[in-house]
Amino acid sequence: MFASLRLCVLHIQRPNMKRLRRRCTVPLALLFSTGSGNGYTSAFSTSEAMRRAHAPSKSRTTELHYSSYDAATGGPSVAAQSFFSNDKEASLWNDPTLQLIDLEDIFTGRDVYSMEEWCVQNGVERIEGIQLYTEDGADYGLSTQVDLPAGSTIVYVPSSTVISSDQVAEDLGGSLEAAENALIQMETLTARRIPLFRLMVFVLKEYEKGVNSKHYAWLQSLPRQYYNGVSMTEDCFGVLPPYAAKLAKSERENYNNFVAGLREGYVDIADEIVDDDTIVNWAYNVALTRFIEVWQPNRQKKIVPMVDMINHSSEPNVDISFDDDGNCLVTTLYDIPAGSALTISLGDPTNPTPIFAQYGFLPLDCTTIFCKAVHLDKQIKELGYDYRDLLIETQTGEVAPKVWDIFLYELLQYNDEEAAEKFYVACRTNDIETKEQYHSSYFQYTLESLKAHVYSMINSVDQLTISAISFDLGTHPRVPVIVAHNTLVKDTFANTALLLEQMG
């Protein structure tokens, strides 16, 4: 597709990181804001403490063994295949020819070099200058070393390399359908989550094949550890503010539902795999953090090797699309100067908490956060508002007008039902003049109510953070990113408190 194509090298010129935040899962050192200055090191100080006592012993793999890899086919060599046994009674961990990835060895580096070569062998093309980069050997992304004009197609991935939830369903057929039906009958899954389940099953089946998997090199390039909601413990949930805890728990609940359906036994995956929480959790996280939502010709989820290395920004500079044949195209949204990271948006930039819950990092380029008034969820729904309407600016503490609406509406409901009904109509019809009249009449009461919420949040987050930093990082490695989230909330609300005090 491209006239010029070459294998790219890591550790290149550092891209502009001003607005870049990681899609992958190792928190940046600046998130570890505990004041010690060495949180990044201490968070990864002990491996044995993080290993599960019940986990089976596995052969450790640290690199792609080319003696078992056939570059011509992008999969295992004939010699490697000849050793492969489909006997599920035999221990997978005791079969050295499979070279199963040791997911509990979180200190082994990600083998992105082999993945890059594998992508080339499987038809992935990039214009010259599009390269993988790393700053620390743990996090990776794509950047450009040349100026890129707007509207340029810069990466092409053939449909044969794209992992599609629809294709997974077609390949696995009845066994997967039976597992999905079991989930639906358990009332633990809606139709919109089925594509994610399919991708999770795909990752598990490919993992089970070991080096015999066509996607072995891609699997080796993925993070071993994640920091999002599904990876958190009950202790982690207990040190998050209510809104973040709610989102994190929701993702964990969905994961538990998937596991329950998987363990019904319909899908042909070895019990040693399905019963290993570390492996299943990893597979779920791979699917959850790397999928792309596709709406046409039907809704499905896809994972695109190489393209899944593109990181997040609130101001993305590239777009990911698929042509009629299912090939993936990465196109520039505007002129991109040399030395820039390629970025997409992984969520609503006005509200970083859902990104934190799903992907396990905190976008530090966000300018607003949700006001955290989850206790007014009833009022929010009645007025037809959305969390995206109820924001506080992180730098100034300024409160969005609709936040004032929900606090006033609650006060009126408890003190003057007739006034509450009129204010409700004004909000639903966007009658600005009537709303302003009510806000003027009840301003002092609304101000005091809002102050009480703000100071309550500051005190609560303080206590939650104190509890969080008392945890052992060996068993709670997600503490630093949790503390970073809590610190953002506290600092924002502290700015709001100053602003509200100036009002009276």
Q: Could you tell me the pTM of the whole model? A: 0.80
Write out the two tokens for 184.
């639906």
Average of per-residue pLDDT across 280-284: 95
Question: Would you state the pLDDT for residue 1?
Answer: 52
Question: Would you state the pLDDT for residue 57?
Answer: 32
pLDDT band at 100 (very low <50, low <70, confident <90, very high): confident
Of residues 423, 451, 449, the one with CA closest to residue 438? 423
Greater model confidence, 3 or 38: 3
Pick the range with the lowest mean pLDDT from 5-19, 157-171, 330-344, 409-423. Answer: 5-19
Average of per-residue pLDDT across 90-118: 78
Residue 319 CA from chain centroid, whole number: 18
Per the prediction, the chain carries an average pLDDT of 82
Question: Would you state the pLDDT for residue 86?
Answer: 41
Place of tokens 């390269």: 131
Place of tokens 């990876």: 231
pLDDT tens, 346-356? 988 888 899 99
pLDDT tens, 422-446? 999 999 999 999 999 999 999 999 9
Residue type, 496: T
Strand (E) or helix (H) holding 140: strand 140-144
Q: With 50 as the cut, is the pLDDT of residue 16 above it?
A: no
pLDDT tens, 362-411? 887 789 999 999 999 999 999 999 998 999 999 999 999 999 999 999 99
Measured in residues, the chain has a length of 504
> Are residues 42 and 34 in contact, defined by beta-carbon separation less than 8 angstroms?
no
